[in-house]
Amino acid sequence: MRSPRAGIDEAGRGPALGPLVVCSLCVPSEDLEFIKATGAMDSKALSSSKRESVYNDIIREVENRGWGVGLAVCEPSRIDYNSINSDLNSLEVKLFSEALELSADPENSGHLKVDACDVDEDRFGKRVSIELGEGWKQWDIESRHGMDSLDIVTSAASIIAKIERDSRIGELSRDLGLDVGSGYPSDPKTRLAVRELVSGELPHDCLRWSWKTVAESWYEVHGTPIPSRSGDGKITSQSTLGDWG
């Protein structure tokens, strides 16, 4: 791939359930016009029907032109494990790096645009560069807030990430026989679903146990702090002080 250009964005940072999906799209610089022709722009600026249409056009070009696509799908369990000793920004640094490694060749000298997740956009870019290591030193990395509205490749990556996450949320609703909504805590359907999904002996695996919305729902149902799950798969439950009286 000559003069590669890559863009990375995520979908699902804030939801209380379902995965966080990061997409990296890598294309030759001479193919930028083909991305523009799809109508790609920041996924949040598109209606759901238009986003789906643009996604299909992008995927067609991916298949026809051999563009590189990398998806890092981070399940709730990994988010929870990470929360024990780290933070979400650090996790996303790793996910952005993983997605790029799946979509591009480090031996080519390329340009990477990332939609910064950190309040300090330059710091986020430097952390991604460090995570990638010396093997990617030939790549120029630019990190900006709102990069999905500034760079056409990142716009396309944002659309792929959004559609892929929405697809997984749809599958989750079908598998559970329960409409989980968008997954965001502000969604009434999601709040009702979370309450249903914490009603068992343990919170459902699709939930982000470390999220405040989930922990509060668990406490309302059970009257105890929500269990925690660690990187080794162990689950720890806490009792209320009253249990020891």
User: Is 213 inside any structural domain?
Assistant: yes
User: Is 243 inside any structural domain?
Assistant: no
Query: What value, to the nearest 5°, has the Cα angle with vertex 190 and ends 187 and 193?
Result: 155
User: Is 242 inside any structural domain?
Assistant: no
| pTM (2 d.p.) | 0.91
Do both 181 and 165 map to the same domain?
Answer: no
Confidence class of residue 3 from pLDDT cuts 50, 70 and 90?
Answer: confident
In percent, how much of the chain has pLDDT > 90? 84
User: Is 244 inside any structural domain?
Assistant: no
- The pLDDT value recorded for residue 239 is 38
Do both 152 and 76 map to the same domain?
Answer: yes
- Would the CA dihedral through 82, 87, 88, 90 be positive or negative? negative
Question: Domain boundary residue among 122, 138, 170?
Answer: 170
